[in-house]
Structure 1
């Protein structure tokens, strides 16, 4: 909504400057988006009259003018404007004047002295018109400052309104707000009924009362459609962002801006019979004023006569019934259309209008009669003519109603947190033109017809705090008692888990919880993801059930920027369908931890050759994250992972996640270059910690033995280590795999596993017999369980 500050101040004039007024409106919810001067800065320009104009002796296109600028003597000014002629009243820049782009000095033009400059609209920065001098009214006072005469110290204010405040899409609406906020008196425009002087009328029928419960129309005959729009009307509408077209059109636009009621004028000579507000007929077409031909849908409300459709109701008039400069009789329309009947119709047909912008948000249903009277008076004053009586059709049953809203004053104080007394609340509500009736617990408040947005108690609380002023609500610092939260050694916080990953060169990322449907299919094997009812974008239409897809997206973004070595991780909630008994009915929402490593295993350096990250690098990172707990890794299958390089992660017999290399088909599909390795585990499992247990530090020497076992190729190493640890003698401190061999000397279906066994006692030095016995127990267990052979 754009409007002239000078126009607003003609209705309500608070003791505030432009900046203060803008701040006041913004803090009241009418956000001031832009404040722009209607004219640039200039000075030294006055109203002047050309007394004589003669041809320049040395130039065909120049004239030497004698100009009366109110200085007491005629000024000689050389001018090249084609319309420079005796008697013309124009702006004159005196010597020393400052214009937007230059200053005026005395000069010689083709040998003739010139003491000033006659100005066009473009030279003053008022428009781009440079076709001639800016012509002023012949009665303009000579010598008056042009800024004062044209009121160029005005500004255009643009406010951004929320859809529920359609009552402020008018100068009167904004004026009501300013009056309520400041207490300044509001002067309402005169809307006194115009007495009919002719008995010309046209019957009106509401064939769709649910969409149009009130319609007013009036015939005005003998108008001069070619009459000049008064400067004050043209100035106000142009400074409000609407182009001046003709007197009749300008008047309807003026009333719309002033009161908020859209109007439309038909050429009465082109109408036949009664006016019908109806739904469109099958196959009906309409040529609109914007020269667009439409075939309206069945739910598009139409204005029609007995012969044809005349206009798209509340949106735009038709070309065939539109007024022109030759119009002498007009039919003036003012109506209330239900917002649901207008909403979205203009956008459906690919255009918009000021009328539809207001109607689809809600126009005051009691305003139509006042607006047509206001417009009639202006038409008669500007264009002349004679007015007939106002014909009004109404369906009272379909008109909106304003139900009283109960307001509890104690509730207001509790919600706002301020000690606001009942009298102040009542004063605020009455200042907003709300009907207030006292009750035992507060007030019963009835909103006026133009307030569509007040329906519940919270709406009234918002109105009170808006007018009271958000700036006046105290903002004491928060206070409260602090308590140490319990922290046990059997758990670790999530931040500690994240810090461990950061210590291993991973960077934390945060991705959207809603993702592409294709990602769910590719990276989670989820053919029926949880869909969003109202996604913010078509490619973000489902909820994620895995974090892996988001991390792959991060890898793609980095690769597109030539960053090849990527280490990222994320903690976040996933969303999966589950059986009954879940925390949220039908859904499981675990918090997961996922990490991805892609590119070289280490940064390029001279000390070691470059190699790509592999499964064991990431497995080592995961084991370090779980330490001191020991996880079990079991081969498995996963939709997003390589079938031979993927393992389920188990901790204390419970499966907590998965680790593996990305599937080759996904590497190719997403153009990743090389296969990254990922893991995804439950965060709650990572937050479980083992209680520390004290063990004596031995001062005795340790004994190390290496054994190599030849075993079937299909036996997992983890299973072998688990069995060896379960039967190991107490003196065995660690059993570590340090070599796997397949090749010469080993059968094709076998492999050699070399283990380093460290043995130590805390009280004494171990004897060879004890060492041999402990090693023998391990070898025998491997032979009996796996058929292993000790390699010579």
Structure 2
């Protein structure tokens, strides 16, 4: 909402020295979001006056029309009292017209200095301006022609209100009343402690049976409808400059007088209106739900197919408008036309004014369904004052009579659905408890009254009388009647928020919470932090992503149609139609972050993420509707949990580019599948879990470079994750670098498989005995299987085992490979003898021979 400061001053007597920035600071302190304070006419300097065109000489011989104009500017010219001569290329004005003239010495917005100069063979003593050159708008089709009543020589800067300050306010959905000058003026008056001149306080005639016939078939969708008729409008009447300027400063384009007046009243009071050409309406006006498939051509020229849930305005022919969104083209105000021979002006002379209150939900759904957002729908969606319809219609009638010479008909139509005011009972100390500050009963009552509430109770009466000192004792509760323009105030917490914001958020003390003794992080939280620190220490960077996915990424992964990861929980109102589901794996978001960073010039990346995935089973129950007037019961909370899908915590990592940088120390190394497996082992070590690694085929990993991890979870061998190099087809579909690797583990399962403790390494005082062994096995035998067999045979003396070489060659034979291991033996209580180390080594080799068919190399 754009609010000109000059317009705001009409309703609140602000101090003369207050600038737009000062007012913005007060409104920000009251909880509004003032984005900018625009200085219109910044740098503008006169002389800028009203001039009259005395003569026009058409210059020929140029590629475009050029006119040499003689202007009467009164005493403001370089030769006071004499006409000024100006060169102009526009052709939309004639002799006798009044125009805006910039004289030598003036400076236009943007720092453009105007002086006398010779051009097209003549001396131009200034220029004639368009609206865009004056900073009034984007209209540059021609010169701005003024109404004839303005005197020659009048200061145009003041006449056109070119210098002003405009506050641009981002109105949040709960403060729809601030989409009007009335609402902003109320907030300004409260912020300054000044009285408000409410523009809605008008004398409105009582409804009668002589008004235009209106039939409301859906009183829930439309609970207020006021109709007024004005006849005898002058078609040639134009919007006065003050009206056009206020619309322009508020960001709206002037169209025609009746339309401009309805837009002006909407900005002033916050009530959207619509003016129908009475001659184009066939019969009574109706309000109903559309029939499925009905069609309507809206004011923007689009043909729209209506839905059965759309609320429409009708006449005998069918829909003539989408209620609260946009009117129809077949009843719009007619364009003003003039007969070229007789000069007779024709256009709309009789109008019917609609001021109604429509359901915010109905308007919001219609606007989204048809992708048609309008100034009216923005206001109805956020809540419009239902009691302002009659005042808005009356204000529109008054302006049509004043500016267009119309005559109001005596008939007043007003349809109301009976409804009482909304009343809330609130403990007087409730805002104190919410804020942790003692405001007192008098302050609570006074602030709620400033909002517009009626507050009942002894303390409220004392506050309203302005009495000082201690108030008389009253009840513990206050009865608060919410004003009609604040539909967002529904419960005591809303009222507490109003008190707190008006008292000032900056006055709330900063206090740290005091945790109860003995309560720290849970084991799950501790593991989460340990894992994050360990991966960060290994060179990974944490990246958080949105938990939303779509089928496109699963297609890129190459997942089968029956893959469980495709069964996602669908959101009712997703942020993006392309990603309507909740993730079942962390890889889509993490790979998207990788692609984004690669696109921005990063080449060597190692990212990780820890987060929940959502695994629906299809057996989830419908969630219960929880009460808002108290804490849910244990059974209700349990029912809510039953409606949720399984949400295990996963951890994933992705790598691309160099894992070790090249330099004087060496050639470096690219990230590969082994790095992804090592990342998984790093996670397992922090949980105290042992992972068994096996080769696997699992999309989106490369079938020959994919590892599956198994762990002992509650006594059962369980698959806990995968790692390896991603499939080339998936990398191409996702736009990722070649040889990108990834790892994903179910962290909850890894935690259950672990000991929950990380043991510090034991430093022995006894020497180590190292034995190397090389085993030849079939190429299909995994190294992990050989390692497991060696560990089983070596016994308790084995301290560590490391694969340090893999060799293949002709001397081994086709389909054979050599695996070389370094075995370290150590006893905790003595120095091992050579015979003991050799026996342990032989037992390890024997176990490997028995389990894997290995042959000791060189034997």
- Where does 1:9-28 land on structure 2 (aligned, <5 Å)? 9-15=9-15, 16-28=18-30
Partner of 1:8: 8
Instruction: Mark the CA change 1:354 to 1:719 in structure 2 (over 3 Å): closer, same or farther.
Output: closer
Over the residues paired in the alignment, what is the CA RMSD in angstroms?
4.9
Per the TM alignment, residue 718 of structure 1 is displaced from its structure 2 partner at its CA by 5.1
Instruction: Say whether 1:571 aligns with 2:610.
Output: yes
Instruction: Say whether 1:416 aligns with 2:435.
Output: yes
8 A contact 2:766–2:827 mirrored in 1: no
Partner of 1:39: 41
- Where does 1:278-677 land on structure 2 (aligned, <5 Å)? 278-280=288-290, 285-306=295-316, 309-324=319-334, 325-397=346-418, 400-438=419-457, 440-471=475-506, 473-476=507-510, 478=512, 495-517=529-551, 522=558, 526-553=565-592, 566-576=605-615, 585=642, 587-597=645-655, 602-604=660-662, 619=677, 631=690, 633-635=692-694, 637=696, 639-640=698-699, 641=701, 646-650=707-711, 657-662=721-726, 666=730, 675-677=739-741
Partner of 1:690: 759
Q: Tell me the alpha carbon deviations over residues 210-267 of structure 1, each in whole angstroms, 9 at most, x when there is no partner.
A: 3223322233333323223333333323322333333333222222222222333333
Per the TM alignment, residue 6 of structure 1 is displaced from its structure 2 partner at its CA by 1.2
SS at match of 1:277: strand
Per the TM alignment, residue 26 of structure 1 is displaced from its structure 2 partner at its CA by 2.9
Instruction: Say whether 1:256 aligns with 2:266.
Output: yes
Per the TM alignment, residue 294 of structure 1 is displaced from its structure 2 partner at its CA by 4.0
Instruction: Mark the CA change 1:107 to 1:136 in structure 2 (over 3 Å): closer, same or farther.
Output: farther
Q: Tell me the alpha carbon deviations over residues 460-505 of structure 1, each in whole angstroms, 9 at most, x when there is no partner.
A: 111112222223x23435375898999999x986555445444544
SS at match of 2:410: coil
Distance 2:520 2:385 in 1: 60
SS at match of 1:390: strand
Q: Tell me the alpha carbon deviations over residues 125-153 of structure 1, each in whole angstroms, 9 at most, x when there is no partner.
A: 4455584575475454x766443343332
Partner of 2:465: none
SS at match of 2:10: helix
8 A contact 1:76–1:115 mirrored in 2: no
Partner of 2:107: 98
Distance 2:263 2:292 in 1: 32
Unaligned runs of 5+ in 1: none
Distance 1:487 1:187 in 2: 57
TM-score (norm 2): 0.76
Partner of 1:185: 195
SS at match of 1:343: helix
Q: Tell me the alpha carbon deviations over residues 355-410 of structure 1, each in whole angstroms, 9 at most, x when there is no partner.
A: 3333343322222222222222222222234332233242434xx54320112222
8 A contact 1:37–1:155 mirrored in 2: yes
Per the TM alignment, residue 351 of structure 1 is displaced from its structure 2 partner at its CA by 3.7
Partner of 1:245: 255
Instruction: Mark the CA change 1:588 to 1:299 in structure 2 (over 3 Å): closer, same or farther.
Output: closer
Distance 2:293 2:573 in 1: 35
Distance 1:374 1:124 in 2: 30
Between 1:170-179 and 1:422-431, the stretch displaced more is 170-179
Please, which of 62, 71, 80 is the counterpart of residue 87 of structure 2? 80
Unaligned runs of 5+ in 2: 335-345, 458-473, 621-637
Distance 1:11 1:461 in 2: 27
Per the TM alignment, residue 46 of structure 1 is displaced from its structure 2 partner at its CA by 5.4
Distance 1:649 1:295 in 2: 57
Instruction: Mark the CA change 1:730 to 1:648 in structure 2 (over 3 Å): closer, same or farther.
Output: closer
- Where does 1:200-219 land on structure 2 (aligned, <5 Å)? 201-219=211-229
Q: Tell me the alpha carbon deviations over residues 579-601 of structure 1, each in whole angstroms, 9 at most, x when there is no partner.
A: 99999657554444444455667
SS at match of 1:367: helix
Distance 1:146 1:537 in 2: 50
8 A contact 1:199–1:388 mirrored in 2: no
Distance 2:76 2:709 in 1: 96
Distance 2:197 2:683 in 1: 74
Per the TM alignment, residue 5 of structure 1 is displaced from its structure 2 partner at its CA by 1.9
Q: Tell me the alpha carbon deviations over residues 633-679 of structure 1, each in whole angstroms, 9 at most, x when there is no partner.
A: 35354523455653434479765554445457656765767555544
Per the TM alignment, residue 455 of structure 1 is displaced from its structure 2 partner at its CA by 0.9
Count of equivalent residues:
784
Q: Tell me the alpha carbon deviations over residues 719-778 of structure 1, each in whole angstroms, 9 at most, x when there is no partner.
A: 565555556588776666666677777687887666666667899987777677666666
Distance 1:262 1:213 in 2: 15
Partner of 1:62: 68
Distance 1:288 1:582 in 2: 47
Per the TM alignment, residue 9 of structure 1 is displaced from its structure 2 partner at its CA by 0.7
Instruction: Mark the CA change 1:759 to 1:11 in structure 2 (over 3 Å): closer, same or farther.
Output: closer
Instruction: Mark the CA change 1:695 to 1:166 in structure 2 (over 3 Å): closer, same or farther.
Output: closer
Between 1:556-565 and 1:508-517, the stretch displaced more is 556-565
TM-score (norm 1): 0.82
Instruction: Mark the CA change 1:554 to 1:446 in structure 2 (over 3 Å): closer, same or farther.
Output: closer
Instruction: Say whether 1:275 aligns with 2:314.
Output: no
Per the TM alignment, residue 307 of structure 1 is displaced from its structure 2 partner at its CA by 5.2
SS at match of 1:571: strand
Per the TM alignment, residue 785 of structure 1 is displaced from its structure 2 partner at its CA by 6.8
Instruction: Mark the CA change 1:300 to 1:622 in structure 2 (over 3 Å): closer, same or farther.
Output: closer
Distance 2:162 2:729 in 1: 69
Instruction: Mark the CA change 1:688 to 1:242 in structure 2 (over 3 Å): closer, same or farther.
Output: same
Q: Tell me the alpha carbon deviations over residues 270-320 of structure 1, each in whole angstroms, 9 at most, x when there is no partner.
A: 445433333446875544444444453333333334455444333333444
Distance 1:277 1:290 in 2: 21
Distance 2:659 2:534 in 1: 18
Distance 1:760 1:235 in 2: 91
Distance 1:271 1:492 in 2: 72
Instruction: Mark the CA change 1:456 to 1:67 in structure 2 (over 3 Å): closer, same or farther.
Output: closer
